Chains A and B, each alone.
Chain A
């Protein structure tokens, strides 16, 4: 036996092990499955502060019927994590895919693996589950070796049936092995990392070459119930005795509640300082009462004007400045360049725009809180609820259900706090669903950014210097609006980062970040237009600026945009994706703009290219566009997207996810801009904030470069990064004008065409 086995299979180990690998004491597998909220309601509870990651039973339960339940702290935001993670577990345990059931994001039952963000689930949570499952398989094999009197290395496993290699009649199922016993298995932890950084040791996982489940396009388990109406979303959770709640938000970010009238429709007003809402037995009554309630608020008008937004961002003192990267002396290189260039780029505020407004149900009573949430980060929200309700962490349990797609931190976490506060104030379970104007108005906004790019060419047209200075949000934390209004301000961890590595071989370069506060925060005691990243955190904006400006230099050098990139790329994986994209798009080598770009009427056509690298995932995109010179409307006709994310868990789910991500990002690149006045957001519905529709959606060809020998990196959102610059570069190719502001809407295109004329 290895030392790991000795450590975990001693008698003491059996008795001391914190978690159960096995749950077989008459408890059917279904007892663990959260198909409805009803089974989970209880009286006051104290829950563990942490589900112990080093106990195998925290991850896996094997049932007498030979099925397996896997517990994960991750949630599924609609991209199929549930299926992909189950594939990883089935693979390592040597059970069939159908034998694995996932329980996701329940703070009482699942290990904190970090919030489900940044396309990090298969990249970081995947290896954690893989290791736990490998350890589970090893533990079960050891039991089987004893039971069958066959050495473990002479055993084989298929579909959870362990049998002797030499005598297949000697066999036993996982379920039989564990029946009636409670087995504690401790797993060694590597380092002290938690959440994303949690690292487990133990048995050697399978070699990639032996995979039979991972790498297969297994149909997603959530899809059949989603098309029959059986799927249980957070919006479907109902509790006995539950009230329906609706929030009533202030007209200005800093407005104070001065008074309110009598509620209609038999509703009750709930109020805590500026936190205001209504509750009613019936949902429609709550909605009408919220609409009808006469409320007096003080005026507040501290936001900059929209026209002045980017100047405001650039001129507001930053919270932190950081040189993100520096090679050589960029300042000197640019000063001495034969041909220096400079351009500023901007991006607009955008909304996550979930089709289903955020929803949560809270049951706060007897000093404890059970909260059903559509959050990406159950453990993060757990701490926030505890803070907002002034309760210890052990008194709060978060149970997540799938929500409407969020693409980042939408209103889910905020609605969760709203429900918790309303339940605490009423003493009843409360379901809060935001209305459309709440979601469009108060979901944390994808931030607006400003970029100053400088570049220089030498006399031969080679790049000698590069500088990217960006005013981007600091996002040290995200403020929760309900808690602010209630006077119990809760701040949740956010993503403070710069991610846009310089891909090209440039002798001198610098990237300089000015990390800014939320817009209006200095004018409103630190709480401005609350913002949070929409996929892909910070890089959508940074890559729009850098890959567009790189194209400007290519045009200045008279170079073909693909050749120009290939000339200074060194990373073979990046070269491979770019070459694959150019080939699939039948890229014709010539500099931009196209020969007929400066015609003055009609539809112009162009093609553009861009690349990006995020968290080890390589992307290259070619966009084909049409530009209507009269209306200024840009239509993206076709996109070729090539991605190399190392090992792919589920190729078909990956391609479909990328295809959708591409179309969504085309919408953001061309159309989407939150409008606001001096008081607050004014784009409060789908007319004020249009998104792409069927007739404008481009066709997409997704090409995945398979590298099963390399670790899986982020698969979903990295592909959004090259889209906006590829479109802008294609517009330049088509009409010869450079678009330096996102979204590239008809108004901006027409203005750019006029200016160039």
Chain B
């Protein structure tokens, strides 16, 4: 059936059975390469995207469940950030993406889309998280290359930018 969803600010109509997990719609129909298939079991976080600003696992979320909501993938983070911080124009990169480059975080990079998406929600909730808060928040996400320490460094680096760019949120 035809399903209308909003992904990265664009309204898209796709034809799929309503129980199709969002991940396959994003990857196969919309050809987005950020979200990845990792486990299909909501265990690893490679498929994470934001739905109305909250991280969800797209591998177990039926596409029909996001109708009327706003889906943001890794690709849509700069635009979401511009909106969140009322920036005059959309930056090329979300500060987290910039920090990921500056800290040279990825090894293979397969999990990093989910990591960045997860961290984006954290920095909206908590302007300057501590190391311990970052680790606890990120704990549900797996990185087999084991770049955990670099990820923590990048989130702290990005937090310096994001916390200055906008008003402190709860």
Contacts and interface: CB of A to CB of B under 8 A. Distances in A.
A571 B28 CA distance: 56
A405 B110 CA distance: 8
A616 interface: no
A662 B149 CA distance: 11
Contacts, number: 166
Contacts of B75: 228-229
A657 B146 contact: no
A193 to B, nearest CB: 30
A223 B106 contact: yes
For the residues of A in contact with B, the DSSP-based class is: loop
B148 A226 contact: no
Nearest to B17: A284
Contacts of A476: none
Contacts of A287: 40
A663 B142 CA distance: 12
Interface string B55-97: 0000000000000000001110000000000000000010001
B123 interface: no
B33 A699 contact: no
A402 interface: yes
A435 B40 contact: yes
Interface in A22-40: none
Interface stretch (A456-464, A466-474, A688-696, A732-740): A688-696
B162 to A, nearest CB: 15
Interface string A642-662: 000000000011001101111
B144 A691 contact: yes
B107 A78 contact: yes
A671 to B, nearest CB: 12
A357 B106 contact: no
Contacts of A407: 144
A356 B109 CA distance: 10
Given A229-B33, A284-B20, A436-B38, A403 B108 contact: yes
B138 A694 contact: yes
Contact of A663 (B93, B110, B113, B148): B148
A692 B146 contact: yes
**SS of B interface (majority):** loop
Interface stretch (A140-148, A230-238, A251-259, A583-591): A230-238
Interface string B136-153: 101101111111111110
B20 A664 contact: no
Contact of A660 (B28, B135, B142, B147): B147
Interface string B117-139: 00000000000000000111011
Contacts of A235: 36-37
Contacts of A405: 107-108, 110, 144-145
Interface residues of B, number: 55
A579 interface: no
Contact of A694 (B16, B110, B152): B152
A228 B97 contact: yes
Interface in A370-415: 402-405, 407
A433 interface: yes
Contacts of B36: 233, 235, 355-356, 404
A642 B44 CA distance: 31
Contacts of A592: none
Nearest to A655: B104
Residue of A223, A284, A355, A685 ringed by the most chain B CB atoms within 10 A: A355
Interface string A284-328: 100100000000000000000000000000000000000000000
A282 interface: yes
B50 interface: no
Contacts of A695: 135-136, 139
Given A78-B145, A229-B34, A433-B37, 14 more contacts: A222-B106, A233-B33, A355-B108, A355-B111, A356-B36, A356-B110, A404-B108, A404-B110, A656-B104, A663-B149, A664-B144, A686-B41, A694-B139, A694-B148
21 contacts: A219-B104, A223-B100, A223-B106, A227-B105, A229-B32, A283-B24, A284-B17, A354-B110, A354-B144, A356-B36, A357-B38, A656-B104, A656-B150, A657-B107, A659-B150, A660-B145, A660-B150, A691-B142, A694-B134, A694-B148, A697-B148
Interface of A: 77-80, 219-220, 222-224, 226-233, 235-236, 238, 282-284, 287, 353-357, 402-405, 407, 433, 435-436, 652-653, 656-657, 659-664, 667, 685-687, 691-695, 697, 699-700
Of all A-B residue pairs in the complex, the 10 with the closest CB atoms, nearest first, are A78-B108, A229-B34, A405-B108, A226-B109, A663-B146, A664-B146, A404-B110, A697-B148, A694-B135, A78-B107
